[in-house]
Amino acid sequence: LVSVPPADKGLAIGKNGRNISRARIIAKRYFDIEKIVII
Protein backbone atom coordinates (compact mmCIF):
# COMPACT_ATOMS: atom_id res chain seq x y z
CA LEU A 1 0.00 0.00 0.00
CA VAL A 2 1.16 3.49 -0.80
CA SER A 3 -0.39 6.36 1.13
CA VAL A 4 -0.66 9.60 -0.87
CA PRO A 5 -2.45 12.82 0.11
CA PRO A 6 -5.62 13.28 -1.96
CA ALA A 7 -4.23 16.44 -3.59
CA ASP A 8 -1.20 14.50 -4.88
CA LYS A 9 -2.89 11.37 -6.21
CA GLY A 10 -2.80 12.69 -9.76
CA LEU A 11 0.95 13.19 -9.51
CA ALA A 12 1.45 9.73 -8.04
CA ILE A 13 -0.51 8.06 -10.84
CA GLY A 14 0.90 10.26 -13.59
CA LYS A 15 -0.32 10.93 -17.10
CA ASN A 16 -1.93 7.77 -18.51
CA GLY A 17 -0.71 5.90 -15.40
CA ARG A 18 2.93 6.31 -16.40
CA ASN A 19 4.32 6.94 -12.89
CA ILE A 20 2.41 4.13 -11.21
CA SER A 21 3.39 1.79 -14.02
CA ARG A 22 7.07 2.58 -13.48
CA ALA A 23 6.67 2.12 -9.73
CA ARG A 24 5.12 -1.32 -10.30
CA ILE A 25 7.96 -2.36 -12.63
CA ILE A 26 10.64 -1.23 -10.15
CA ALA A 27 8.87 -2.85 -7.19
CA LYS A 28 8.57 -6.12 -9.11
CA ARG A 29 12.18 -6.06 -10.31
CA TYR A 30 13.91 -5.23 -7.03
CA PHE A 31 11.52 -6.30 -4.28
CA ASP A 32 9.30 -9.00 -5.87
CA ILE A 33 6.18 -6.96 -5.04
CA GLU A 34 3.24 -7.96 -7.23
CA LYS A 35 0.69 -5.25 -6.47
CA ILE A 36 0.78 -1.55 -5.54
CA VAL A 37 -2.37 0.11 -4.22
CA ILE A 38 -2.59 3.89 -3.88
CA ILE A 39 -4.77 5.02 -1.00
Q: pLDDT tens for residues 1-39?
A: 889 999 999 999 999 999 999 999 999 999 999 999 999
DSSP state of 38: B
Predicted local distance difference test score (pLDDT) of residue 1? 84
Q: Report yes or no: 12 and 19 within 8 Å, Cβ to Cβ.
A: yes
Neighbours of 12 (CB within 10 A): 15
Neighbours of 23 (CB within 10 A): 17
Q: CA 20, CA 26: separation in Å to the nearest integer?
A: 10
- Domain residue spans in the chain? 1-39
Predicted local distance difference test score (pLDDT) of residue 22? 96
Architecture of domain 1-39: 2-Layer Sandwich (3.30)
